Structure 1
């Protein structure tokens, strides 16, 4: 967070990012926000683990310009990046990019987020190794890069947007979303 005198609404929203309760599979860290995109910024990174392996990663940046930004249609902006492995069949589906975008919209709506001016891209990539790397498995990934304007007024309501971000990472990586207050039980080893 930059700036010597932080606006109260930004302080409240940034504090919500620090105080948020995350799913146990998510490992979330606070990182420095970008310096040149807005007068004030805060950021988080996350890794999602399932059965001992990292299955997805994400970044969330909260930008704030007290003067507002016409492109944002507001004073706050959420910028997200999500990356997760997907199986080859999903990657080959020509509708997958549209599905990825619908996941974002559904996560925002399911968490009762008030938002506008959403924009972004969804990329699906399959990589196959050749030559000396011939023994490595093919890999398919989906990346969602998106931003939206959270209508959070005085900084309240940020928790809904944090839940939407974490739900999007889980959905993209193939984990089911959990209703608020429900904790997923660990699988028993056989």
Structure 2
């Protein structure tokens, strides 16, 4: 049964946290859906998967879409995926010395960038700054934060050698929220996923990473 849908016999504190997640706001470009949560990390857990898609409004110079039966032969193109991520909320009623609390948030974000960004030594620190700034901007109080930023180069060979090289940035992070009110944490993380996807506006004072290749 879906954790966000409400499950009987869950601890009251965890239920309060789930209620906060349901109330979290987000941008229209990001799609959130509950996914299977890891079973061995904590007695209770809920996980959300996120995808950010490029919105493509029709411009004045765009070709006029076909009408009538012709529309059936020309389906609308699928929007481009700009970033993906996972948000996992763990809960242990007994508390954890490792987490220094009863809750722990574990996250993952991945987005594709311009290939020439792969040699940028500041790439990881900029991604980490986004996390710190997003949590601060949303008032998501936390402690015991840790994470890694990874650059991934994908090169194609053989029958796929015509494909251009790509560079992905991955951020894996976890932190302990100070209270069971985790709504602000999900909202901050959702904002960060959109930042990874290159969607404006960016928070004041945060550096902008170039958008994925065209």
Q: TM-score range by the shorter chain?
A: 0.7 to 0.9
> TM-score, normalization: structure 2?
0.77
How many residue pairs are counted as aligned between the two chains? 176
Unmatched runs of 5 consecutive residues or more in structure 2: 56-78, 204-214
Q: Are 2:9 and 1:9 aligned?
A: no
**Partners of 2:130 and 2:25 in 1: how far apart?**
22
Larger strand proportion of the pair: 1
**Partners of 1:139 and 1:41 in 2: how far apart?**
34
Q: Quick check: 1:18–1:30 contact (8 Å CA) kept in 2?
A: no
- Alpha-carbon offset, residue 177 of structure 1: 4.5
- Give deviations 1:26-69, integer Å, cap 9, x for gaps: 11101222111111101100100113211000100000011110
Alignment-derived partner of residue 59 in structure 2: none
Classify the secondary structure of the residue corresponding to 2:39.
Answer: coil
What are the residue-to-residue correspondences of 1:95-134 with 2, within 5 Å? 95-134=122-161
**Partners of 1:79 and 1:56 in 2: how far apart?**
17
**Partners of 2:87 and 2:46 in 1: how far apart?**
8
What are the residue-to-residue correspondences of 1:16-35 with 2, within 5 Å? 16-35=20-39
Alignment-derived partner of residue 36 in structure 1: 40
- Alpha-carbon offset, residue 4 of structure 1: 6.1
Q: Are 2:54 and 1:50 aligned?
A: yes
> TM-score, normalization: structure 1?
0.86
Q: Quick check: 2:195–2:202 contact (8 Å CA) kept in 1?
A: no
Q: Quick check: 2:25–2:187 contact (8 Å CA) kept in 1?
A: no
Unmatched runs of 5 consecutive residues or more in structure 1: 180-190
Classify the secondary structure of the residue corresponding to 1:89.
Answer: helix
**Partners of 1:172 and 1:89 in 2: how far apart?**
17
Alignment-derived partner of residue 102 in structure 2: 75
Runs of 4+ in structure 1 over 4 Å off: none
Alignment-derived partner of residue 162 in structure 1: 186
Q: Are 2:172 and 1:148 aligned?
A: no
CA RMSD of aligned residues (A): 1.8
Classify the secondary structure of the residue corresponding to 1:67.
Answer: strand
Q: Quick check: 2:24–2:184 contact (8 Å CA) kept in 1?
A: no
- Alpha-carbon offset, residue 168 of structure 1: 1.2
